[in-house]
Structure 1
Amino acid sequence: MSNQINKNDNQFKKIDIQKLIQGENINDIIIEIDNYICTLCEWGDKMENLSNAQKFFYYNQNLEREINNGGFSQYFFNSTGDYAHETVDSLIAINANHTAKILKKAIAQFPENKVPKNSNLREEIIEKIEEEANIVWEELENDFFKYEDNLNELNLKFVKENLNSF
């Protein structure tokens, strides 16, 4: 059963995480948790509404969503690039070590291996590096799409291990 909680004057439908994770379709489970967390943090505008475990889940889902939709160029260009370094940590936290290495190599295309949090600065840098970086990023995207780390399974395992934070 769902409960209603009031958070910062917005209504959020709290999911029954215990019941949800008992489901059989892992994709449906991940999507429902992702939708809940995105709503809870207002799609990244209110990250303070999330626990650390929820943030990790959010970062991981954003990476996968952006890579699938437009690759590393889109990932870094959009607000998801704000959390590139935190996403490396979140991937390591769920034992997605291969994917973390891919993201580190993508980050390495930025000067001094630093992805700026400031979106305007990040966009300026991307414009300067994109011709060469896109060659590397495309190779890394191909590696990403091999899914050596099953991100859905690893994220669900992480949720189960951190239930109290969800």
Structure 2
Amino acid sequence: MDRVPCKKCGAKALPSTIEKTKGYCMPCFKGPDKRSELQKYEDKAVRMGLMKDSDRVAHLPGLETKELNVSDELLPFGRTYKDVLRCKDEAEPYQLLSNLSAIIMYKEQSHGLESLSQEERYIYAVDGMLTEVNNGGFYQFFFNSTGELSYDLVPALEVIGSTLFKTIALKAVKIFGEIPSLDEDSRYSHLDSITENDELQLWDKCDSEFYDCGEEIESMALAYAQINLV
């Protein structure tokens, strides 16, 4: 498939990407992850099916997360791991996994990523992969805040018992490579250096394999959480 140059930087991108972004490669279109906390909450709520895209309000001026009580929207099955996992017969696995991830997200935002246990990091990494890769491919996973968990991803998939997704993620992380720090500036600089003139081509095959993978990853993650988080 012939690629089309980005009208800003000239890097060649998939025609579908150029069409979607109205002429830009994905890095130019996205820029740094400048989503507000409210926008991140809304992104997760949309994925969980708790709100529609048309109901987003983060773009309105003067709104703060606390005014909207967004946490209640993201925690429909409970505010503790035990409460969420009790609902296994009442909701889809992806909804419960997202609720678990939201609990972990609030802990991270309050006390930092270093406050998370290894088990929490694994659940967070798996849900982050599902959210970001389904939305924009592995490039987006490494680019957005989930990129801080880049080196947790493969071990996370291994401990929950994944074989197919682990194989795909192993290739994606190998392409990403090793860098001394996974902080935002380091990741952005590194991604700029390895994607120069290639845009998302580096992860095209990984993305395609990911979208075609039928492994029941959410159920695996919930089974792991039942043993390790409760």
Q: Determine if the TM-score, normalized by the shorter chain, exceeds 0.5.
A: yes
CA-CA distance at 1:127 after TM superposition: 1.4
Corresponding position: 1:64 with 2:130: yes
Moved more, 88-97 or 117-126: 117-126
Q: Please, which runs of 5 or more residues in structure 1 have no aligned partner?
A: 1-11
Superposed CA deviations along residues 7-47 of structure 1, whole A, max 9, x for unmatched, are xxxxx94352452334353233222222222222228x622
**From 146, 149, 174, the counterpart of 1:83:** 149
Corresponding position: 1:159 with 2:225: yes
CA distance in 2, matches of 1:98, 1:122: 26
Residue 194 of structure 2 corresponds to which residue in structure 1?
129
Corresponding position: 1:29 with 2:93: no
CA-CA distance at 1:88 after TM superposition: 0.9
Sequence identity of aligned pairs in percent? Answer: 21
Corresponding position: 1:40 with 2:104: no
Question: What code does the residue aligned with 1:117 have?
Answer: L
CA RMSD of aligned residues (A): 2.4
How many residue pairs get aligned? The number is 150
Higher normalized contact order (CA 8 Å, seq sep 6+, divided by chain length): 1
Q: Please, which runs of 5 or more residues in structure 2 have no aligned partner?
A: 1-77
Q: 1:50 to 1:121 in 2, by over 3 A?
A: closer
Moved more, 17-26 or 76-85: 17-26
Residue 74 of structure 2 corresponds to which residue in structure 1?
none
Task: Tell me which structure has the larger Cα radius of gyration.
Answer: 2
Whether the 8 Å contact between 2:121 and 2:149 is mirrored in structure 1 is no
CA distance in 2, matches of 1:119, 1:18: 33
Superposed CA deviations along residues 71-107 of structure 1, whole A, max 9, x for unmatched, are 1111111221122111111111111122122122122
CA distance in 2, matches of 1:149, 1:68: 14
**From 108, 125, 148, the counterpart of 2:174:** 108
Q: 1:75 to 1:160 in 2, by over 3 A?
A: same
Question: What code does the residue aligned with 1:87 have?
Answer: L
CA distance in 1, matches of 2:85, 2:173: 36
TM-score normalized by the length of structure 2: 0.57
**SS at 1:156 equivalent:** helix
CA distance in 1, matches of 2:136, 2:222: 24
Which has the larger strand fraction? 1
Residue 20 of structure 1 corresponds to which residue in structure 2?
87
TM-score normalized by the length of structure 1: 0.76
Whether the 8 Å contact between 1:94 and 1:154 is mirrored in structure 2 is yes
CA-CA distance at 1:141 after TM superposition: 0.6
